[in-house]
Amino acid sequence: MKVKNTLGVVIGSLVAATSFGALAQGQGAVEVEGFVNRYFTDVQRDYAHNEGNLFGGSIGYYLTDDVELALSYGEYHDLRGEGSRGSKNIKGNLTDLKAIYHFGQPGVGLRPYVSAGFGHQSIGDANGGGRNRSTLAIAGAGAKYYFTEMFYARAGVDALYNIDQGDTEWQAGVGVGLNFGGGSKPAPAPVVAAAPEPMPEPAPEPALETVRVELDVKFDFDKDRVKEESYGDIKNLADFMNQYPQTTTTVEGHTDSIGSDAYNQGLSERRANAVRNVLVNQYGVDGSRVNAVGYGKTRPVADNATDAGRAINRRVEAEVEAQIQQ
């Protein structure tokens, strides 16, 4: 059979395969391939140059994504015998069944492989008129490169151990093929990270309200004694400070304009201390929280030209602020 006839079935299969709509690698896939091997013979065969070519094709079935069972058939060409009957053209063929394990993942790219199996060789005898028929144990390795999911090229080498003759021959070759009809494992669905639990809204800061208590204690002319009617106001201030122990205050004493600066300064200080003493000694406010200061007649709030105005200026003032939750 000529080379074009030998490869006819394989090439036809390759062309027909392109009509399949679903082409994929992986378990259940079918591969068809056309190949050419360079055959290196044992010297005992008396072949010229001890080498020739093997043209053929194969068909394989993927038992898993990685393991393929392949059946191949090829015919020898370019072999000439130089035996006792002189030079003659040698014909023959090789049929083998191999298990092939592929490395890597199905898909576009490189997939190295190793193979092992058995073959039957029928080849002309250089020294006789018949053929030598032998059983071969075959081991090989190589790589396939998938240009697409379906189309690939292969290169590999095989060792052929002749079980009947006890010798080893070699073949190295290349091939092209198609892979179709399989169901390679779909790519795992992308893992979508669960949206993080929304952080609870921080509890709103409690609204704070500023509360102020003011004290205004009036004094008689040239006096520093706290009048009875003022004790209620002083007690209100003391109660507020005891309720909010973080508060402090400064008690400020003042006078009218009558008298010298020095005298009024001392009088204002005595008036401030009088009110402080009521807060501390009578109503229990911690003394460290109450200061007393006098300003004399320097800070009038009314007109010192009238009796009414001067009465307003004879005073002790204090205020306390606290931040409280609404």
- The predicted-structure confidence for 117-156, as pLDDT tens digits, reads as follows 999 988 877 676 778 888 999 999 999 999 998 899 999 9
Distance, in Å, from the CA atom of 48 to the CA atom of 30, rounded to the nearest integer, reads 38
Residue among 146, 171, 150 nearest 160 (CA):
171
Query: Facing residues of 176 across strands?
Result: 34, 153
Distances, alpha carbon 104 to alpha carbons 146, 155, 189, in Å:
12, 16, 20
User: Residue 15 — pLDDT band, cuts 50, 70, 90?
Assistant: very low
Residue among 120, 78, 75 nearest 93 (CA):
75
Q: How distant is the alpha carbon of residue 281 from its chain centre?
A: 70
Distances, alpha carbon 250 to alpha carbons 78, 141, 291, 294, 322, in Å:
121, 99, 5, 10, 14
- Supply φ then ψ for residue 63, to 5 degrees: -70, -35
Q: What tokens does 83 get? A: 């035996």
Give residue 301's pLDDT: 94
Instruction: Give the tens place of pLDDT for each residue, 45-74.
Output: 767 677 888 899 999 999 998 999 999 999
Q: Does 164 have pLDDT greater than 80? A: yes
Q: Answer whether CATH 2.40.160.20 is correct for domain 3-180.
A: yes
- Whether the full predicted model's pTM is greater than 0.75, yes or no, is no
Are the C-beta atoms of 53 and 36 separated by less than 8 Å?
yes
What are the sequence ranges of the domains in the chain? 3-180, 208-325
Are the C-beta atoms of 7 and 175 separated by less than 8 Å?
no
CATH number of this structure's domain 208-325, picked from the four choices 3.30.1330.60, 3.40.50.720, 3.20.20.140, 3.40.50.150? 3.30.1330.60
Residue 289's Cβ-side half-sphere holds a number of Cα atoms within 13 Å equal to 20
